Chain A
Amino acid sequence: MKQFFLSATILVVVTIFAVSVNAIEKNEHPVPINDKSCATCHEKGSTDELQASSDAYTQWDTSLHKLNGVSCITCHGEESTFKPKSTISTCASCHSIEVDSMKTAETCASCHQVHTFRPLKGFKSPHD
Chain B
Amino acid sequence: MEMSRRNFIKSTLAASAAVAAGISTTSNAVAQSQEVVVERWVKGVCRLCGTGCSVYVGVKGNRLVAMKGNVESLTNTRGYLCVKGMNIWKVAHHPDRLTKPLIRDGKGVLRPASWDQALTLIEKKFKEYHKKYGYDSVAYYGSGQCTTEESYTFNKLWKGGFGSNMVDGNPRLCMASAVAGYMSSLGSDEPAGAYADIEKSETIFLVGSNLSEAHPILFRRVARHKKDNPNVKIIVCEPRKTLTSAVADLWMPSLPGTDLAIFNGMAREIIKNNWHDKNYVKTLGRVTIGDGSKELSWADYVKHLEKYTPQYVEKKTGCPAADVKAAAKMFAKSKATLSMWCMGLNQRANGVWANNLIHNLHVITGNYGKPGADAFSLTGQPNACGGVRETGSLAHLLPGARPVANQKWREFVQGYWGVAKYSINPSKAINPKPGMHAVKLFSSLGGEKDKTKPVKAVIMSTTNPAQTLPNVNKFIGGMQDAFTVVIDIFPTRTAQCASVVLPAAFIYEKGGVFGCSERRSFLTEKAVNAPGEAKADIWIAAQIAKRMGLTKLIGWANETNIDRMNELAWNDYIGCTANTEKTLKGATYSRLKKSTVGVQWPCPDEKSPGTYKRYVRGMDPIFDNPKRYGYTIPADAKEFFYARPHGKANIFLRDDPDNSEQTSPAYPFIMTTGRVLEQWHTGSMTMRIPETAAAHPHSFVEINEKDANRLKIKNGDIVKVESIRGSNILPAKIVNNTLEGVIFVPMHDQKADRMVNFICSDIVDPTSAEPDYKVSAVKITKVSGPKKIDGRYLVTRTEMNKKTFS
What is A's interface to B at a CB cutoff of 8 Å?
24-27, 33, 35, 37, 64, 67-71, 73-75, 77-90, 92-97, 99-100, 102-105
Question: Is the pair B19, A84 in contact by a Cβ cutoff of 8 Å?
Answer: no
Question: Is the pair B27, A77 in contact by a Cβ cutoff of 8 Å?
Answer: no
Give the distance in Å from the alpha carbon of A56 to the alpha carbon of B502 in the complex.
47
Question: Is the pair B677, A82 in contact by a Cβ cutoff of 8 Å?
Answer: no
Determine whether B464 belongs to the interface, using a CB cutoff of 8 Å to chain A: no
Determine whether B732 belongs to the interface, using a CB cutoff of 8 Å to chain A: no
| Chain B residue with the shortest CB-CB distance to A102 | B5
Chain B 373-412, CB-CB to A under 8 Å as 1, else 0, gives: 0000000000000000000000000000000000000000
B residues within 8 A CB of A102? Answer: 5-6
B residues within 8 A CB of A79? Answer: 690, 694
Partner of B219, one of A69, A73, A86, A87: A69
The secondary structure that dominates the B interface is: helix
B residues within 8 A CB of A77? Answer: 16, 19-20, 690-691
Give the distance in Å from the alpha carbon of A84 to the alpha carbon of B32 in the complex.
13
| Chain B residue with the shortest CB-CB distance to A94 | B80
Question: Is the pair B82, A69 in contact by a Cβ cutoff of 8 Å?
Answer: yes
Say whether, besides A88-B32, A94-B86, A105-B5, A26 and B26 are in contact (CB < 8 Å): yes
Question: Is the pair A99, B15 in contact by a Cβ cutoff of 8 Å?
Answer: no
Give the distance in Å from the alpha carbon of A99 to the alpha carbon of B491 in the complex.
39
Question: Is the pair B9, A89 in contact by a Cβ cutoff of 8 Å?
Answer: yes
Say whether, besides A67-B247, A93-B69, A25 and B9 are in contact (CB < 8 Å): no
B residues within 8 A CB of A83? Answer: 16, 19, 25, 28, 31
Query: B194 to chain A: closest CB distance in Å?
Result: 21
A residues within 8 A CB of B12? Answer: 89
Give the distance in Å from the alpha carbon of A31 to the alpha carbon of B78 in the complex.
37
Chain B 68-112, CB-CB to A under 8 Å as 1, else 0, gives: 110100000011111100100000000000000000000000000
A-B contact pairs, 16 of them (CB 8 A): A27-B31, A37-B695, A68-B220, A71-B695, A73-B691, A73-B692, A73-B694, A77-B20, A79-B690, A83-B19, A83-B31, A88-B9, A93-B69, A99-B6, A99-B9, A100-B10
Say whether, besides A77-B690, A79-B694, A87 and B35 are in contact (CB < 8 Å): yes
Say whether, besides A68-B216, A68-B220, A87 and B32 are in contact (CB < 8 Å): yes
Partner of B20, one of A81, A96, A97: A81
Question: Is the pair B14, A69 in contact by a Cβ cutoff of 8 Å?
Answer: no
Question: Is the pair B20, A93 in contact by a Cβ cutoff of 8 Å?
Answer: no
What is B's interface to A at a CB cutoff of 8 Å?
5-6, 9-10, 12-20, 24-28, 31-32, 35, 67-69, 71, 78-83, 86, 212-213, 216, 219-220, 223, 243, 246-247, 677-678, 690-695, 697, 789, 791-792
A residues within 8 A CB of B213? Answer: 69
Query: B84 to chain A: closest CB distance in Å?
Result: 10
Give the distance in Å from the alpha carbon of A90 to the alpha carbon of B219 in the complex.
21
Question: Is the pair B28, A85 in contact by a Cβ cutoff of 8 Å?
Answer: yes
Residue of A70, A83, A96 with highest tally of chain B CB at under 10 A: A96
8 extra interchain contacts, Cβ-Cβ under 8 A, other than A74-B691, A96-B9? A69-B212, A78-B691, A81-B690, A87-B28, A89-B14, A89-B16, A89-B17, A94-B69
Question: Is the pair A69, B243 in contact by a Cβ cutoff of 8 Å?
Answer: yes
Give the distance in Å from the alpha carbon of A61 to the alpha carbon of B223 in the complex.
16
Give the distance in Å from the alpha carbon of A89 to the alpha carbon of B19 in the complex.
12
A residues within 8 A CB of B5? Answer: 99, 102-105
A-B contact count (CB 8 A): 138
Give the distance in Å from the alpha carbon of A97 to the alpha carbon of B86 in the complex.
16
Query: A93 to chain B: closest CB distance in Å?
Result: 4
B residues within 8 A CB of A81? Answer: 16, 19-20, 690-691
Give the distance in Å from the alpha carbon of A100 to the alpha carbon of B35 in the complex.
17
Partner of B83, one of A35, A73, A87: A73
B residues within 8 A CB of A88? Answer: 9, 32
Partner of A96, one of B32, B68, B216, B246: B68
Partner of B6, one of A35, A68, A86, A100: A100
A residues within 8 A CB of B16? Answer: 75, 77, 81, 83, 86-87, 89-90, 93
Question: Is the pair A93, B67 in contact by a Cβ cutoff of 8 Å?
Answer: yes
Question: Is the pair A78, B67 in contact by a Cβ cutoff of 8 Å?
Answer: no
| Chain B residue with the shortest CB-CB distance to A71 | B695
Partner of B68, one of A92, A104, A105: A92
Say whether, besides A69-B213, A96-B9, A105-B5, A90 and B694 are in contact (CB < 8 Å): no
Query: B37 to chain A: closest CB distance in Å?
Result: 11
A residues within 8 A CB of B243? Answer: 67, 69
Question: Is the pair B220, A93 in contact by a Cβ cutoff of 8 Å?
Answer: no
Query: A104 to chain B: closest CB distance in Å?
Result: 7
Query: B242 to chain A: closest CB distance in Å?
Result: 11
Partner of B32, one of A67, A71, A89, A99: A89
Question: Is the pair B19, A27 in contact by a Cβ cutoff of 8 Å?
Answer: yes
Question: Is the pair A82, B19 in contact by a Cβ cutoff of 8 Å?
Answer: yes
| Chain B residue with the shortest CB-CB distance to A83 | B19
| Chain A residue with the shortest CB-CB distance to B223 | A67
Query: B127 to chain A: closest CB distance in Å?
Result: 48
Give the distance in Å from the alpha carbon of A71 to the alpha carbon of B68 in the complex.
18
Say whether, besides A75-B16, A93-B69, A80 and B81 are in contact (CB < 8 Å): no
A residues within 8 A CB of B10? Answer: 100
| Chain A residue with the shortest CB-CB distance to B216 | A69
| Chain A residue with the shortest CB-CB distance to B789 | A35
Question: Is the pair B223, A68 in contact by a Cβ cutoff of 8 Å?
Answer: yes
| Chain B residue with the shortest CB-CB distance to A84 | B28
Question: Is the pair A97, B697 in contact by a Cβ cutoff of 8 Å?
Answer: no
Partner of A27, one of B25, B35, B220: B25
Give the distance in Å from the alpha carbon of A117 to the alpha carbon of B695 in the complex.
22
Give the distance in Å from the alpha carbon of A103 to the alpha carbon of B13 in the complex.
20
| Chain A residue with the shortest CB-CB distance to B82 | A69
Give the distance in Å from the alpha carbon of A50 to the alpha carbon of B12 in the complex.
36
| Chain B residue with the shortest CB-CB distance to A68 | B220
Question: Is the pair A93, B86 in contact by a Cβ cutoff of 8 Å?
Answer: yes
Say whether, besides A35-B694, A100-B6, A25 and B27 are in contact (CB < 8 Å): yes
A residues within 8 A CB of B82? Answer: 69
Query: B516 to chain A: closest CB distance in Å?
Result: 19
Say whether, besides A77-B19, A84-B28, A87-B28, A93 and B81 are in contact (CB < 8 Å): yes
B residues within 8 A CB of A74? Answer: 83, 86, 691
A residues within 8 A CB of B677? Answer: 69, 71
Give the distance in Å from the alpha carbon of A12 to the alpha carbon of B380 in the complex.
54
| Chain A residue with the shortest CB-CB distance to B213 | A69
A residues within 8 A CB of B694? Answer: 33, 35, 73, 78-79
B residues within 8 A CB of A71? Answer: 83, 677-678, 695
Give the distance in Å from the alpha carbon of A37 to the alpha carbon of B789 in the complex.
13
| Chain B residue with the shortest CB-CB distance to A37 | B695
Question: Is the pair A97, B32 in contact by a Cβ cutoff of 8 Å?
Answer: no
| Chain A residue with the shortest CB-CB distance to B85 | A93
A residues within 8 A CB of B219? Answer: 68-69
Give the distance in Å from the alpha carbon of A105 to the alpha carbon of B208 in the complex.
45
Question: Is the pair B78, A97 in contact by a Cβ cutoff of 8 Å?
Answer: yes
Give the distance in Å from the alpha carbon of A94 to the alpha carbon of B83 in the complex.
10
Say whether, besides A69-B213, A81-B19, A97 and B79 are in contact (CB < 8 Å): yes
Give the distance in Å from the alpha carbon of A87 to the alpha carbon of B33 in the complex.
10
Give the distance in Å from the alpha carbon of A54 to the alpha carbon of B594 in the complex.
48
Give the distance in Å from the alpha carbon of A88 to the alpha carbon of B15 in the complex.
9
Give the distance in Å from the alpha carbon of A100 to the alpha carbon of B10 in the complex.
8
| Chain B residue with the shortest CB-CB distance to A72 | B695
The 7 closest A-B pairs by CB, nearest first: A78-B694, A93-B15, A93-B14, A85-B28, A69-B216, A73-B691, A81-B19
Give the distance in Å from the alpha carbon of A104 to the alpha carbon of B8 in the complex.
12
B residues within 8 A CB of A105? Answer: 5
A residues within 8 A CB of B71? Answer: 96-97, 100
B residues within 8 A CB of A94? Answer: 69, 79-81, 86
Query: A41 to chain B: closest CB distance in Å?
Result: 14
Give the distance in Å from the alpha carbon of A71 to the alpha carbon of B27 in the complex.
22
| Chain A residue with the shortest CB-CB distance to B4 | A105
A residues within 8 A CB of B246? Answer: 67
| Chain A residue with the shortest CB-CB distance to B55 | A93
Question: Is the pair B690, A78 in contact by a Cβ cutoff of 8 Å?
Answer: yes
Give the distance in Å from the alpha carbon of A102 to the alpha carbon of B246 in the complex.
32
